[in-house]
Amino acid sequence: MTQADAANLLRPMLGFMAAMDWAGVVAMCGSSRVTADELARVIREYGCTPCLPPDNYAEFVTVDQYLDGSEAGFFIVAPLWTVEEGRSDLSVEVTACWRGGQFALHLHDLHVL
């Protein structure tokens, strides 16, 4: 998976974040370590408004392949953008595993770097 592939995979989730639709973010991920309420709390405490990233977003995404027992996938860390800051110190951590002919996302965390 390239940085561009990962960025394209995350774009719908980033759209939910820009709309502050935290239930949509969690629903998009097959599983999540964080709840919609926890995502809302992190953003509220951070104090800035999420927005969609710029077109060159892919260059800021990191992708690492992993093998966990019989499952292979990709660990993706991507910065978020906010209205107030542009590129922010917030980042989202996601794994993507190939299942049923498509990538399934698992949201691990949203935090300040």
Percent of the chain with pLDDT over 70: 99
- Assigned token pair, 41: 């709390």
Least confident of 32-36, 62-66, 71-75: 71-75
Q: Is the pLDDT of residue 82 over 80?
A: yes
DSSP secondary structure code for residue 61 in this structure: -
Q: How sure is the predictor about 32, in pLDDT bands with cuts at 50, 70 and 90?
A: confident
- Closest residue by Cα to residue 42 from 8, 93, 105: 93
Residue 70: the pLDDT is: 67
Query: Please, what is the average pLDDT of the chain?
Result: 90
Percent of the chain with pLDDT over 90: 65
The CATH number of 3-112 is which of 3.40.50, 3.10.450, 2.60.40, 1.10.3470?
Answer: 3.10.450
Q: Is the pLDDT of residue 4 over 80?
A: yes
CB 17 within 8 A of CB 49: no
What do you get for the CA distance between the two ends of the chain, in Å? 23
Cα torsion through 34, 99, 50, 41, rounded to 10: -10
